[in-house]
Amino acid sequence: MMTTKTILTCALTGSVTPPKKHLGLPITPKEIAESGIEAAKAGAAIVHIHVRDPEKGIPSMDPELYREVVDRIRDDGTDVVINLTCGHGARLRPSDPDANDASGTSNVQTPVVRMRHIEENKPEICTLDYGSMNFGDFVIINTPEHLKRMAEIAKKVGSKPELEVFDTGHLRLAKKMIEEGIIDKPPLFQICLGIPWGLEQNSESMIFMRDALPDSSHWASFGIGPGEFPMLAQAALLGGHVRVGMEDNLYLEKGVPTPSNAALVEKGIKILQTLGKEPASAQEAREILGLKKLVN
C-alpha cells in the first residue's frame, strides 16, 4: 500500500525575530516572495507567510504588503501552497507592570481587521492561533468568539484553517469548535513546540498532543532554534507533517547561520529522505489536505 507523503512547510520570516539577529532574514515583500519561491524550488510544498514593515523590520498587518508578496509568488508561476498567518492583531504588552494600559508595541484588533488580507488574497490555508497565552514577554489574546468569527470568514473565503495549538487548552477549544461545525472536518493542526511559554519541545509533548487529536486529523509539528530538526524528525516518525524556516530557526547547525530559507528546506528534505519519508509536492499537498486552489 502506498504511504502518504510528508508535507514540508517553510515559515519564511515570522514576526518576532529582530532583523539584527540575521542580516539575511527576508523583510521586504520582494525579499519574502523571493525567499518563498526559492524555498518552493528546494522542496517546500507550502510557504507560511508573515509580512513586516519594509523600513523598520517590525511586524505589519498592511494588506498591501501581503498583496505584493502573494502577487509576486503567483506571478512567478511557482507551484506552492500559500499559507497566510492570522496571528497578527492579538498582541498585548503593558507599558509597565503596574500600568493599566498598553505600550506602543501592542496591537489588538477585531476579527474583521485580522482577516482582511485573507479575504483579499484568498490563500489556500490561513493559520488560526487557537488560544491565548504568555508569548515570550508579551501576551497573545485570542478569545473563543474572535476565533469563531475568524473561522467563519475563512470558511466563506474557502481557505482551510491551520489550527495552531501551543498548549493543551488550545486543543480542547479547537476540538469543541470542530464538534460544533465551526471548523470543517478533517481539521488541520499545527502542534507548536518550544515557544515561551507553551509546550516544551520534546517527544513527550508531541506524542501527547498527537494522541489527543480528533480522529482523521491532518497534523504537523515543529520546534524552534536547536530543536527545529530533531522535532522535524520526530514528527515525521510519528506520521505527521513538518515545518522549517527562518521564523523558527536561523541556523543550519550549531554556530552555522543558515544562508537562506531554501537551505533549511534542503536539510529538512534530506532528513525526511534519510528516514524513508517521501516529501510531497505542492499538488500532492493539496490532494492530501483537500485544499481548494483559489483564484483571486
Confidence of residue 41 (pLDDT cuts 50, 70, 90): very high
| Contact status, residue 127 vs residue 190, Cβ threshold 8 Å | yes
Alpha carbons 125 and 291: distance in angstroms, whole number: 8
Confidence of residue 158 (pLDDT cuts 50, 70, 90): very high
Using DSSP, state whether 42 is helix, strand or coil: helix
What the block records as the C-alpha cell of 240 is: 505527521
Alpha carbons 247 and 129: distance in angstroms, whole number: 16
pLDDT tens string 272-282: 999 999 999 99
Helices and strands of the chain, counted as H and E runs? 10, 16
Who wins on pLDDT, 2 or 182? 182
What integer pLDDT is reported at residue 89 of this predicted model?
A: 86
Angle made by CA atoms 41, 262, 252, in degrees to the nearest 5: 155
What integer pLDDT is reported at residue 2 of this predicted model?
A: 40
Q: Answer yes or no: is pLDDT of 1 > 90.
A: no
Alpha carbons 243 and 241: distance in angstroms, whole number: 7
Question: Which structural domain range is residue 274 located in?
Answer: 8-289
Indicate the number of domains in the chain.
1
The mean per-residue pLDDT over the stretch 12-21 comes to 94
**Domain contains 296:** no
What integer pLDDT is reported at residue 107 of this predicted model?
A: 82
Confidence of residue 127 (pLDDT cuts 50, 70, 90): very high
Mean pLDDT rounded to a whole number for the chain: 94
Percentage above 70 pLDDT, the chain: 95
**DSSP string over 94-158:** BSSTT-SSB-TT-EE--HHHHTHHHHHH--SEEEEE-S-EEETTEEE---HHHHHHHHHHHHHHT
Q: Answer yes or no: is pLDDT of 3 > 60.
A: no
pLDDT tens string 66-114: 999 999 999 999 999 999 999 988 888 877 777 666 776 678 889 999 9
Q: Answer yes or no: is pLDDT of 116 > 60.
A: yes
**Domain contains 62:** yes
Q: Nearest 5°: phi and psi at 240?
A: -100, 175
**Domain contains 37:** yes
What integer pLDDT is reported at residue 104 of this predicted model?
A: 64
**Domain contains 46:** yes
**Domain contains 30:** yes
**Domain contains 129:** yes
Alpha carbons 40 and 278: distance in angstroms, whole number: 15
pLDDT tens string 219-254: 999 999 999 999 999 999 999 999 999 999 999 999
* CB contact set of 119 (below 8 Å; sequence gap of 6+): 153, 157
**Domain contains 142:** yes
What integer pLDDT is reported at residue 136 of this predicted model?
A: 81
**Domain contains 138:** yes
- Number of Cβ within 10 Å of residue 275's Cβ equals 12
Q: Domain holding 95: CATH number? A: 3.20.20.70
Confidence of residue 120 (pLDDT cuts 50, 70, 90): very high
pLDDT tens string 166-217: 999 999 999 999 999 999 999 999 999 999 999 999 999 999 999 999 999 9
Alpha carbons 224 and 111: distance in angstroms, whole number: 28
Count how many Cα atoms sit within 13 Å of the Cα of residue 277 in the half-sphere of its side chain.
Answer: 25
> Among positive and negative, which fits the CA dihedral 191, 193, 196, 197?
positive
Alpha carbons 124 and 46: distance in angstroms, whole number: 10
